[in-house]
Amino acid sequence: MKDSALSPAWYYTRLCHLSPRLDEEGGPLLVSHKIFIAMMLWTIVSVAISVSAGIEVLATLELIGLLVIRELTDGLLTSELRQRMDIFIYAGLLLFVAVVLRRVWLVVS
């Protein structure tokens, strides 16, 4: 019987194909996996905090999370991972500048 796209076995085989480390039982997580899990948890917390506050607060909290994680893991990251995180940080900074300019525009007008 062929695995359907909705079965857990299908997802597991796809994940193991993408990351062979997931196939090893009890193997240590890579630093990039730990960073991803930390950011996923921070995103859940940020969404819970900013449900009533708005998208501006969510964007600011996500940027703060990225900056904190980048600073805490700076010595552990490879240059490739640092560059990938920097792209997300620059995008967050650009979004933050847009939020600040919008707020200033609303106050001035």
Nearest CA to 57 out of 99, 28, 25 is that of 99
The pLDDT tens digits of the residues spanning 60-101 come to 999 999 999 999 988 888 889 889 999 999 999 999 999 999
Nearest CA to 18 out of 6, 4, 30 is that of 30
Structure-block tokens of residue 70 = 């980048």
The pLDDT tens digits of the residues spanning 2-21 come to 555 556 665 556 555 555 55
